[in-house]
């Protein structure tokens, strides 16, 4: 059995064994999201029974993958809901050819944001992070593909605020041919996150570029790149 499969099965077993303990955590916060044609719909579920004394509410904060921008609050509420019913809202202030990261965070009385914690105090952090792009084909990584021994990874272009990638799934054969060659590529598709970290779950398209400085004015340049996708 390949090493990558063994690794994922082993970690999954550990997670299943810990599931009973996570069900008893003091603070549960879960964020999910779905991309539509022109907006991104988000849903937050919160069951906060033992908040930090400084927390006064919660917020969903957005930033952009591959863009060094100031995070934006897309939804915020004072206090915490009395029931664990989903709170649904949309982010319509989104652009084509951008992959967004959304995080569900606690807010203190100074307006600063904080993570809710980790098991056993709170459910796992990856359940509070969502990646989304209109069409599910936004830019997700740029750099040089590397052989991890059990799968494919990427050495990201520095200084461009790309999200660290644990691995790339389902690499098409023509792209796999560039692994270890030092060629710089831009990947478009979908990011997901679980116990292994953030990973590329689907590659919608890709393009080889000259170097890490080849795309200077994102997101407009992403549209031009995808238009020329081989």
pLDDT digits (tens, 9 = 90+) for 156-209: 999 999 999 999 999 999 999 999 999 999 999 999 999 999 999 999 999 999
Q: Based on the domain organization, do 121 and 144 belong to the same domain?
A: no
Q: Based on the domain organization, do 54 and 125 belong to the same domain?
A: yes
Q: Based on the domain organization, do 68 and 129 belong to the same domain?
A: yes
| Confidence at residue 2, expressed as pLDDT on a 0 to 100 scale | 44
Q: Based on the domain organization, do 127 and 53 belong to the same domain?
A: yes
Q: Based on the domain organization, do 100 and 164 belong to the same domain?
A: no
| Confidence at residue 9, expressed as pLDDT on a 0 to 100 scale | 44
Strands 129-132 and 87-91: unpaired
Answer whether residue 24 shows pLDDT above 80: no
Domain extent, residue 57, equals 3-134
Q: What is the mean pLDDT of residues 45-56?
A: 96
Q: What is the mean pLDDT of residues 7-18?
A: 42
Q: What is the mean pLDDT of residues 67-82?
A: 96
Name the domain boundary from 99, 134, 169.
134
| Confidence at residue 51, expressed as pLDDT on a 0 to 100 scale | 94
Q: Based on the domain organization, do 219 and 107 belong to the same domain?
A: no
| Confidence at residue 5, expressed as pLDDT on a 0 to 100 scale | 42
| Confidence at residue 104, expressed as pLDDT on a 0 to 100 scale | 98
Structural domains of the chain, count = 2
Q: Based on the domain organization, do 81 and 105 belong to the same domain?
A: yes
What's the mean pLDDT when you consider all of the chain? 88
Greater pLDDT, 10 or 30: 30
Strand ranges of the sheet holding 152-156, from the earlier edge strand across to the other edge? 152-156, 138-147, 184-194, 197-209
Give the number of other Cβ atoms within 10 Å of residue 38's Cβ: 10
Q: Based on the domain organization, do 12 and 106 belong to the same domain?
A: yes
Answer whether residue 55 shows pLDDT above 70: yes
Residue 178 to residue 164: CA distance in whole angstroms: 20
Q: Based on the domain organization, do 163 and 223 belong to the same domain?
A: yes
Q: What is the mean pLDDT of residues 57-71?
A: 96
Q: Based on the domain organization, do 108 and 172 belong to the same domain?
A: no
Residue 227's pLDDT band (cuts 50, 70, 90): low
Greater pLDDT, 92 or 1: 92
Q: Based on the domain organization, do 114 and 206 belong to the same domain?
A: no
């Amino acid at each position: 059995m390949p090493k990558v499969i063994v690794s994922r099965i082993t970690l999954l077993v550990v997670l299943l064994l810990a599931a009973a303990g996570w069900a008893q955590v003091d603070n549960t916060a879960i964020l999910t999201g779905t991309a539509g044609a022109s907006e991104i719909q988000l849903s937050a579920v919160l069951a906060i029974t033992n908040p930090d004394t400084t927390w006064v509410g919660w917020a969903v904060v957005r930033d952009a993958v591959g863009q060094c921008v100031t995070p934006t609050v897309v939804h915020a509420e004072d206090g915490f809901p009395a029931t664990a019913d989903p709170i649904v809202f949309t982010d319509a202030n989104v652009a084509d050819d951008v992959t967004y990261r959304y995080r569900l965070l606690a807010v203190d009385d100074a307006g600063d944001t904080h993570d809710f914690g980790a098991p056993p105090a709170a459910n796992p952090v990856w359940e509070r992070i969502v990646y989304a792009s209109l069409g599910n084909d936004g830019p997700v990584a740029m750099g040089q593909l590397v052989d991890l021994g059990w799968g494919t990874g990427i050495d990201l272009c520095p200084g461009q605020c790309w999200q660290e990638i644990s691995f790339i799934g389902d690499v098409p054969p023509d792209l796999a041919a560039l692994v270890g060659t030092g060629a710089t590529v831009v990947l478009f598709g979908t990011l997901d996150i679980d116990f292994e970290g953030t990973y590329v779950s689907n590659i919608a398209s890709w393009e080889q570029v000259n170097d890490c400085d080849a795309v200077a004015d994102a997101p407009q340049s992403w549209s031009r790149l995808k238009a020329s996708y081989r």
